[in-house]
Amino acid sequence: MPAIEVDNLCKSFVTKHKPAGFLASLRALARPKTFTIEAVRNLTFEMEAGELLGFIGPNGAGKSTTIKILTGILFPSSGQAKVLGFVPWAERRQLAYHIGTVFGQRPQLWYHLPAMDTFALFGKIYEMDDRTTRQRISFLAEAFEINDLLETPVRKLSLGQRMRCEVAASLLHKPKLLLLDEPTLGLDVVAKQHIRDTIRRMNQLEGVGVLLTSHDAGDLEALCKRVIVINHGQIVYQDKVSALKRSFLTSKLVEVRYAEQIPVDFHIPGTETIKVAKERYGVKLRFDTRSTGVETVMAQLSAAGTLVDITVSDPPLEEVIRLIYTQGAGKDSEPSTT
Amino acid sequence: MTMRNLSKYWAMLKMQLVNSLAYPSELVWRSLAIVIFLWIFAQLWRVTFATAGTTTIGGLSLHDTLWYLMLAETIELSRPRLSHSIAETVRDGSIAYLLNKPYDFLLYQMSTNLGESLFRMTLNTLFGGATVWLLVGPPPEARGWALTAIAVLGAWSINFCIGALIGLTAFLVEDVTPFEWIYQKMIFILGGMLIPLDFYPHWLQTISRALPFSYAMYGPARLFVTPDLTRFAGLLAGQVFWILILAGALVLVYQRGARRLAINGG
């Protein structure tokens, strides 16, 4: 049985149109204009038990709305969904025993109390006996390296520390499925990596399935096997992460700073110069990893002068999505419902 | 309800108690509020009684009036602003966490609200009681205390239901403050928090007694001053009546509201 089955799911919100300005506001008061936002449109997909599935898309794409429908806290406008065999919005409480959730920016740990207190409360809420709760807490404390943090009031933790505690709390009752909504939002590189590694390890160790939303392509590369790209409430692409990388995450951006000035027409063969900085110490370029090796580019860059700083990064997700659109995605993936 | 089920709500209540203890200095300030209010009331009523030249107004002496106000203030100041806290969780989206745990949302609110209320009530009774004792002498006869405690629990239930109903309107409208404001003024005037209902003209007393607010405020406070079983029985019947109506409405509104909930943010 698949962990998640979603069939033709739709969710629309009716929102009031609020014009700016005093007079316009008065007018709107007398005759309010409403419009409908279709947050999720005819979404259909499946997720296997124990799978690591990434759900990516820009802000406002409908990722969070989908997760909230799948946890049962929002009712869909139409369509079907089953999570672990339960219809989420009809069997919310039964489903809650088997899933864990983290909504990135919002705390579920009691803010003024140490995380340990919330862990103990969750043990009661999930109807675990005290011994099991204690064992589970010490196991998770080890896995997430939060032993030293459990006795500190949550408000005193850094965001990275807090998120580790949040994710650990969502795993307390050994859920079969973890729904993570932007778990790495706002974290620094080290904290991001820590969370990703631990989630992956818990997946291997306990077989917990992970559905993760993010607008960070890094989360996806580090964590997920399969990806669904969603935009404007619709699936625009779904395939293995390796396939996505092969076909879309093919270019790298490089930013370099030199100790001495570089020529105006600075060029490295096999790369495209995007911008030479005004004072001509820095340069930004892009290259395709399929035709030019990273090593080749690096060697040429260091041969061109004395390197002060160098950053290599993936193109932002927005660009990947634009590429998916322009290159006519969907030919080797399931048909997207356009 | 099974034992495990009960113990989860008991755990929430205890958690809220512990949470209330997180800021000791805030507790002191809170407790000072009731001391100041009661001191001001004492001055006002002393002058009023002196000017009227009588020892009783509407059957209540100055001593009775102040002990009445002590309990009324305790009930009001111990009432957590439930509508605000529910509205806040809707506004910042953290309601998502409250709705996806294996418990009943309303019972969760009830447990944490009771935890907070009990805590504040203890403090307010101690500080308020001490203040009034110093100002006008010992409290009413102790045999009425147990009855009053039951009536205060009834008052708490009515306040909880109304507060939660107002809070749930946040599922539909953006701001619950106006509703909370009206409710508070109702408690002040028609509930008998500022002035015992006995001092009102007859017609206003009739209106007040027909509304739930007096059962959440005047009833227990008046019982505390003049405890007798007939009064208690009448009060309890009224409280049960209103609790049944309000709780029914609450469950209905919650079930409808949950379908229409739109969660802010992402």
**Residue range A192-213: mean pLDDT, rounded:** 93
Residue A19 resides in a domain? no
Instruction: Report the DSSP pairing between strands A209-214 and A52-56.
Output: parallel
Is the Cβ of B265 closer than 8 Å to some Cβ of chain A?
A: yes
B262 band by pLDDT with thresholds 50, 70 and 90: low
Q: So what's the pLDDT on residue B208? A: 93
Task: Measure in Å the smallest separation between the Cα of B101 and chain A Cα atoms.
Answer: 5
The chain B residue lying nearest A97, using CA atoms, is B102
Whether the pLDDT of residue A336 is over 50: the answer is no
Q: Which helix (H) or strand (E) holds A242?
A: helix A241-247
Residue A30 resides in a domain? no
Q: What residues of chain A lie within 8 A of the CB of B12, using their CB?
A: 121, 124-125
Q: So what's the pLDDT on residue A327? A: 67
Q: Which two tokens stand for residue B190?
A: 């028609």
**pLDDT, tens digit (0-9, with 9 covering 90-100), for A220-275:** 888 888 999 888 888 888 888 888 777 777 888 899 999 998 888 888 888 888 88
Asked if A213 and A286 sit in the same domain, the reply is no
* Interface with chain A: mutation pick from B97, B98, B112, highest number of A CBs within 10 Å: B97
- B261 or B12: whose pLDDT is higher? B12
DSSP assignment, residue B266?
Answer: -
Whether the pLDDT of residue B91 is over 90: the answer is no
Q: Do A110 and B19 touch (CB under 8 A)?
A: yes
**Residue range B191-214: mean pLDDT, rounded:** 92
Q: So what's the pLDDT on residue A280? A: 87
Residue A87 resides in a domain? yes
Partners of A13 in beta bridges: A37
Asked if A231 and A280 sit in the same domain, the reply is no
Q: So what's the pLDDT on residue B180? A: 92
Q: Which helix (H) or strand (E) holds A33?
A: strand A33-47
Q: So what's the pLDDT on residue A331? A: 42
Asked if A166 and A265 sit in the same domain, the reply is no
Is the Cβ of B261 closer than 8 Å to some Cβ of chain A?
A: yes
Q: Which two tokens stand for residue A108?
A: 């579920």
Asked if A118 and A238 sit in the same domain, the reply is yes
Neighbouring residues of A307: CB distance < 8 A, sequence distance ≥ 6: A256, A257, A258, A259, A301
Is the Cβ of B181 closer than 8 Å to some Cβ of chain A?
A: no
Q: So what's the pLDDT on residue A294? A: 86
| CATH of residue A79 | 3.40.50.300
Q: So what's the pLDDT on residue A200? A: 93
Residue A51 to residue B248: CA distance in whole angstroms: 43
The range of the structural domain enclosing residue B248 comes to: 3-260
Whether the pLDDT of residue A282 is over 80: the answer is yes
pTM listed for this prediction: 0.84
* Interface with chain A: mutation pick from B5, B12, B101, highest number of A CBs within 10 Å: B101
Q: So what's the pLDDT on residue B117? A: 94
Q: So what's the pLDDT on residue A36? A: 84
Q: Do B22 and A153 touch (CB under 8 A)?
A: yes
% of chain B exceeding 90 in pLDDT: 73
Residue B266 resides in a domain? no
Residue B23 to residue B70: CA distance in whole angstroms: 25
Asked if A138 and A199 sit in the same domain, the reply is yes
Asked if A242 and A271 sit in the same domain, the reply is no
> Token match 């009830």: residue?
B110
**Residue range B220-229: mean pLDDT, rounded:** 94
The range of the structural domain enclosing residue A188 comes to: 4-8+45-247
For residue A94, CA distances in Å to B25, B100, B109 come to: 41, 10, 19
**Residue range B32-45: mean pLDDT, rounded:** 94
Q: So what's the pLDDT on residue A170? A: 95
% of chain A exceeding 70 in pLDDT: 96
Q: So what's the pLDDT on residue A334? A: 41
- B82 or B2: whose pLDDT is higher? B82
Q: Which of A247, A273, A288 lies at the terminal end of a domain, its last residue?
A: A247
**Residue range B90-107: mean pLDDT, rounded:** 88
Task: Measure in Å the smallest separation between the Cα of A292 and chain B Cα atoms.
Answer: 38
Q: Do B12 and A121 touch (CB under 8 A)?
A: yes
For residue B74, CA distances in Å to A333, B25, B152 come to: 66, 19, 10
From the list A72, A121, A126, the residue facing B15 with the nearest CB is A121
Look at residues A165, A139, A140, A168 and name the one whose alpha carbon lies nearest to residue A152. A165
Asked if A225 and A265 sit in the same domain, the reply is no
Whether the pLDDT of residue A41 is over 50: the answer is yes
Q: So what's the pLDDT on residue A332? A: 41
Q: So what's the pLDDT on residue A333? A: 41
Is the Cβ of B24 closer than 8 Å to some Cβ of chain A?
A: no
Q: So what's the pLDDT on residue A82? A: 96
If you count residue pairs, one on A and one on B, with CB atoms under 8 Å apart, how many are there?
89
User: Coil, helix or strand for A12?
Assistant: strand
Asked if A53 and A201 sit in the same domain, the reply is yes
Is the Cβ of B12 closer than 8 Å to some Cβ of chain A?
A: yes
Q: Do B8 and A68 touch (CB under 8 A)?
A: no
Asked if A110 and A146 sit in the same domain, the reply is yes
Give all strands (DSSP E) within B113-253, no chain letters: none
B264 band by pLDDT with thresholds 50, 70 and 90: low
Which strands form A251-258's sheet, in the order they lie side by side?
A271-276, A282-288, A251-258, A307-313
Asked if A160 and A280 sit in the same domain, the reply is no
Residue A13 resides in a domain? no
Q: What residues of chain A lie within 8 A of the CB of B258, using their CB?
A: 75
Residue A36 resides in a domain? no
Q: Do A75 and B259 touch (CB under 8 A)?
A: yes
Residue B86 resides in a domain? yes
Task: Measure in Å the smallest separation between the Cα of A17 and chain B Cα atoms.
Answer: 14
Q: So what's the pLDDT on residue A338? A: 34
- In this predicted complex, what is the ipTM? 0.87
Task: Measure in Å the smallest separation between the Cα of A101 and chain B Cα atoms.
Answer: 8
Asked if A117 and A138 sit in the same domain, the reply is yes
- The DSSP annotation for B97-129 comes to HHHSSSS-HHHHHHHHHHHHHHHHHHHHHHHHH
Asked if A135 and A177 sit in the same domain, the reply is yes
**Residue range A47-64: mean pLDDT, rounded:** 88
Residue A35 resides in a domain? no
Q: Which two tokens stand for residue A332?
A: 């080797």
Is the Cβ of B99 closer than 8 Å to some Cβ of chain A?
A: yes
Task: Measure in Å the smallest separation between the Cα of B22 and chain A Cα atoms.
Answer: 7
Question: Among A33-37, A47-51, B111-115, which is the least confidently predicted range?
Answer: A33-37
Q: What residues of chain A lie within 8 A of the CB of B119, using their CB?
A: none
Q: So what's the pLDDT on residue A132? A: 95
Number of domains comprising chain B: 1
Q: What residues of chain B lie within 8 A of the CB of A93, using their CB?
A: 102-104
Whether the pLDDT of residue B132 is over 60: the answer is yes
Q: So what's the pLDDT on residue B266? A: 44
Q: So what's the pLDDT on residue A330? A: 44
Residue B265 resides in a domain? no
Q: What residues of chain A lie within 8 A of the CB of B104, using their CB?
A: 93
The chain A residue lying nearest B91, using CA atoms, is A106
Number of domains comprising chain A: 2
Q: So what's the pLDDT on residue B243? A: 97
- Tell me the pLDDT of chain B averaged across its residues: 91
State the Cα torsion A226-A13-A87-B88 to the nearest 10°. Answer: 100
**Residues of B (104-143) whose Cβ lies below 8 Å from A:** 104
**Residue range A115-141: mean pLDDT, rounded:** 95
Look at residues B198, B201, B207, B194 and name the one whose alpha carbon lies nearest to residue B225. B198
Q: So what's the pLDDT on residue B1? A: 62
- Tell me the pLDDT of chain A averaged across its residues: 87
Q: Do B266 and A64 touch (CB under 8 A)?
A: yes
Is the Cβ of B90 closer than 8 Å to some Cβ of chain A?
A: no
The chain B residue lying nearest A111, using CA atoms, is B19
Q: Do B102 and A94 touch (CB under 8 A)?
A: yes
Q: Do A113 and B22 touch (CB under 8 A)?
A: yes
**Residue range A86-95: mean pLDDT, rounded:** 93
Whether the pLDDT of residue B265 is over 90: the answer is no
**Residue range A272-297: mean pLDDT, rounded:** 88
B263 band by pLDDT with thresholds 50, 70 and 90: low
- A216 or B7: whose pLDDT is higher? B7
Task: Measure in Å the smallest separation between the Cα of A181 and chain B Cα atoms.
Answer: 9
